[in-house]
Structure 1
Amino acid sequence: MRKAFKSLFSSSHNDYPGNSGLNQIPFQTQPAAPTVKGRGFVWGRDKVRGVNLGGWLVLEKWITPTLFQQYAPKAKDEWTFCQQLGPRALQALQGHWNTWVTEQDIARLSSMGLNMLRIPIGYWAFQLKGVPGSQNGFDNSGRQGPIEWTKGGYNGENIQRSLAVVQQVVDIFIRDSEFSTTVNCLQLVNECANWGLDMNVVKQYYETSYKIIRSASSEIKIVLHDGFQWYTFWNGFMRPPDYQNVLMDTHKYQCFDNSMKGWSRKRHMEHTDWLHEQLEGSDRNLWTIVGEWSLALIESRGGHPNTWDAEYRSYMKEYAERQMAVYERASGWIYWNFKTEDAPEWNYMLLVETNIIPNPPNARFM
């Protein structure tokens, strides 16, 4: 897996401000804005515009259904995929790692005017989209089921194992000069579900992880997930001057909540506009990026965008540009996902190629 990561993010792709986790633009609460090595990206001036490389190093069945159909049709996540395949799982995964994200994909994404890649990696491979015990019970944590990450408290096995992984991540991606111009941010956990966790323990985990990372670097950005909490929950937490280069990740989907699935298209637009106050408020506390969002109104309408009727295509274009504009009222955005096998509303490259999403993203200003 590390070989796959290294092969993609060699010096030929150093024009990205950062490719693991998230980058962020400083708000006035942060110190003077530095320029990222290798490119004129200035924190505090430029907006993050990126995509997630989802379904690569943490499997999600809906993103790559053919992989599951080929090897483990009854599996629902990476845990059960490996459980069902046993010793054959490694070979299947290596084939997937080597083909799902390619250098050609990275070149295409760069040509689309993006400046950020967010790369989810499970704790079993030294990063923290999924953590021991599962932080949300979703397939994106590696295993669907109970939420047990904070079970046992701060001194419990799961949190302590997670902190050990943070140290390993620091040793590989921060201390190793091979990644020094590529990895600009580290996110400590993805989508920690407040309804199943002790958020005081999560805060302790964040604070200790900060100390571990700062022992190696004062510059790398440290990303917290908001735990699906209202932004005021985090007011005053890990702010300057005691904490530097910390940012918040929030995810904005309008397709999973049952009430949202019944909304009119107009209501989706109104909700998007309403989000700007929340995002601006969060950004005043800690730099804030919408680290996941999509065009889905339901989980997927299906069909190729070129087969969508003209009215729906027009709406999707406006919906994309409206979300981009609102999310840039904070510090930027990262689309989920860079591509999918099906589910076109989640496929950034396809949406660009079919003229639903502007290329480059700031073309909407031109």
Structure 2
Amino acid sequence: MLRISFLLAILAAVTQAWLPQDRNLFGNETQDAVSQTVVADIGRRAQNWLPARGKIRGVNLGAFLIIEPWMANAEWSSMGCGGTNSEFDCVMRLGQAEADRRFQAHWASWITENDIAAMSNYGINTIRIPVGYWIMESIVYRDSEHFPRGGLPYLERVCNWASNYGFYIIIDLHGAPGAQVPQQPFTGQFAPSAGFYQGYQYDRAYKFLEFMTNLIHTNNAYRNVGMLEVVNEPEGGHPNLVSEFYPNAYNRIRQREQALGVTSNNYVHVQFMSRNWGAGDPKAGIPGGATAVAFDNHRYLKWDPSVPVSQTGYISTSCRDNVASDNQLPLIVGEWSLSVKTEVEHNAEFQEGNNANYGFYRKWWAAQVIAYEKQWGWVFWSWKAQLNDFRWSYKEAVEKGVIPKNVDEAFGMGVC
């Protein structure tokens, strides 16, 4: 049975701000509990929770407020965006008014309350929502930047649903002004180079973070947002990310909270990609005495050249994995999947459509869960996709029996 001593040691070192267990989001957790019954509070359902013991067990809402064509190609084509690389490019093709209409139809249907209910039934307790800076429409350069408008009500709606179901919510700045990496649709544009790492773009990011902080503390729909990630997967080689952006981002969030009269026990956790990500050491830039700070590491073994390419190799790598080897704590693995190296993913040993491989993927899922729950927990990429491939879709993996609804089963398989 998973023990909580390690988690308690982490929590003892963290001061202020709130965590899921502070608001009893995951139930009345005790060390030896088998299940717990949660008494319904205002805005919450009564339900039985598995003994999460405070661990983040989540999914990303990929292709929701930022569409990545590779994972939602049918949706992308039906919107009239087929053949374009990013939201920016599609809006230019369709024209602003028509693009707004089509993107709003997508936002209305991609994540519904039924999805949130299914997540709850599948043992999920956290959602991470990737958001682009353009959701704050006042900071978009309308003469040169082309993004869909009207996304904010859909973010609010999903946050409210998730809060009603007792989820913990992480919002991350997934698409930064100017793009934090080149030629990546997750930034909302297919930029030829990363234009984010300069003062005027940082200023726009600070405004976005202040805007989100204000919503979190003043709009009841955002009541379960407990973490705000300042930028997703920044590119390495930009020292001012650490020396300038990170400390100012932290300070601007805290200053906004203080101006609102928010007490420190209600601060959001400010999250940074950890040093292991490779874009610098955030601890070198975070102000001394900073509180309620968390770190993020993304672990895609698909792109790790050191992993032996075999079923045994993937499982054994995950069993001995130390995602916090840089000692950047507390840590959440904010993205991971069950996808293997591209050149072998259709081989007989790994083929997703081969039922004989389901046992391997189930064990590898368990090995990753065990590794990541040595820290604060994990958020799978993604909740759903249009790939006919459960390796990228938590929903599909559960429906096919690859991932159990009882996440605690990972610790009883004897995998590691």
Matched AA of 1:187: E
Structure 1 match to 2:62: 54
Gaps of 5+ in 1: 1-23
Distance of 1:351 and 1:178 partners within structure 2: 30
Structure 2 match to 1:29: 13
CA deviation after TM superposition for structure 1 residue 145, in Å? 2.9
Q: 1:232 to 1:212 in 2, by over 3 A?
A: closer
Matching residue within 336, 357, 362 for 2:403 = 357
Determine if contact 1:128/1:188 at 8 Å carries over to the other structure: yes
Q: Which has the larger radius of gyration?
A: 2
Structure 2 match to 1:157: 200
CA deviation after TM superposition for structure 1 residue 203, in Å? 4.3
Structure 1 match to 2:99: 89
Pair 1:111-2:113 in alignment: no
Cα-to-partner distance string for 1:172-198 (whole Å, 9 max, x where unaligned): 222334422x21111111111114xx1
Distance of 1:42 and 1:209 partners within structure 2: 34
After superposition, residues 151-300 of structure 1 pair within 5 angstroms as 151-152=197-198, 156-180=199-223, 182-195=224-237, 198-215=238-255, 216=257, 217=262, 218=264, 219-226=267-274, 229=277, 233-234=281-282, 238=286, 242-256=289-303, 259=305, 263-276=309-322, 278-279=323-324, 281-282=325-326, 284-299=327-342
**Which range is displaced more, 69-78 or 103-112?**
69-78
Q: 1:157 to 1:320 in 2, by over 3 A?
A: same
Q: 1:55 to 1:248 in 2, by over 3 A?
A: same
Determine if contact 2:385/2:392 at 8 Å carries over to the other structure: yes
Structure 2 match to 1:80: 89
Distance of 2:218 and 2:204 partners within structure 1: 20
Determine if contact 1:352/1:359 at 8 Å carries over to the other structure: yes
Instruction: Specify the SS of the correspondent of 1:120.
Output: strand
Q: 1:158 to 1:78 in 2, by over 3 A?
A: same
Q: 1:185 to 1:157 in 2, by over 3 A?
A: same
CA deviation after TM superposition for structure 1 residue 41, in Å? 5.8
Instruction: Specify the SS of the correspondent of 1:186.
Output: strand
Structure 1 match to 2:181: 136
Distance of 1:348 and 1:162 partners within structure 2: 31
Determine if contact 1:131/1:149 at 8 Å carries over to the other structure: no
Instruction: Specify the SS of the correspondent of 2:175.
Output: coil
Distance of 2:27 and 2:232 partners within structure 1: 25
CA deviation after TM superposition for structure 1 residue 30, in Å? 1.3
Report the identity percentage.
Answer: 25
CA deviation after TM superposition for structure 1 residue 97, in Å? 0.1
Distance of 1:228 and 1:74 partners within structure 2: 35
Determine if contact 2:61/2:383 at 8 Å carries over to the other structure: yes
**Which range is displaced more, 319-328 or 221-230?**
221-230
Matched AA of 1:36: D
Determine if contact 1:134/1:146 at 8 Å carries over to the other structure: no
CA deviation after TM superposition for structure 1 residue 201, in Å? 2.8
Instruction: Specify the SS of the correspondent of 1:98.
Output: helix
Determine if contact 1:25/1:48 at 8 Å carries over to the other structure: no
Instruction: Specify the SS of the correspondent of 1:184.
Output: strand
Cα-to-partner distance string for 1:282-332 (whole Å, 9 max, x where unaligned): 4x44210100000000359479x984231x111111110000001111110
Distance of 1:25 and 1:296 partners within structure 2: 33
Distance of 1:267 and 1:41 partners within structure 2: 36
Q: 1:252 to 1:104 in 2, by over 3 A?
A: same
Structure 1 match to 2:358: 313
Matching residue within 386, 391, 396 for 1:341 = 386
Instruction: Specify the SS of the correspondent of 1:362.
Output: helix
CA deviation after TM superposition for structure 1 residue 208, in Å? 1.5
Distance of 2:392 and 2:59 partners within structure 1: 10
Structure 2 match to 1:98: 108
Determine if contact 1:60/1:140 at 8 Å carries over to the other structure: yes
Q: 1:67 to 1:249 in 2, by over 3 A?
A: same
**Which range is displaced more, 165-174 or 49-58?**
165-174
Matched AA of 2:175: G
Instruction: Specify the SS of the correspondent of 2:334.
Output: strand
Distance of 1:157 and 1:31 partners within structure 2: 33
Instruction: Specify the SS of the correspondent of 2:203.
Output: helix
Distance of 2:403 and 2:218 partners within structure 1: 37
Q: 1:76 to 1:130 in 2, by over 3 A?
A: same
Determine if contact 2:62/2:130 at 8 Å carries over to the other structure: yes
Distance of 1:135 and 1:25 partners within structure 2: 34
Structure 1 match to 2:25: 39
Instruction: Specify the SS of the correspondent of 1:118.
Output: strand
Matched AA of 2:15: P
TM-score (ref. length: structure 2): 0.72
CA deviation after TM superposition for structure 1 residue 245, in Å? 1.1
Determine if contact 2:335/2:378 at 8 Å carries over to the other structure: yes
TM-score (ref. length: structure 1): 0.81
Higher relative contact order (CA 8 A, sep 6+): 1
Structure 2 match to 1:323: 368
Q: 1:358 to 1:66 in 2, by over 3 A?
A: same
Gaps of 5+ in 2: 1-7, 30-51, 137-171
Structure 2 match to 1:21: none
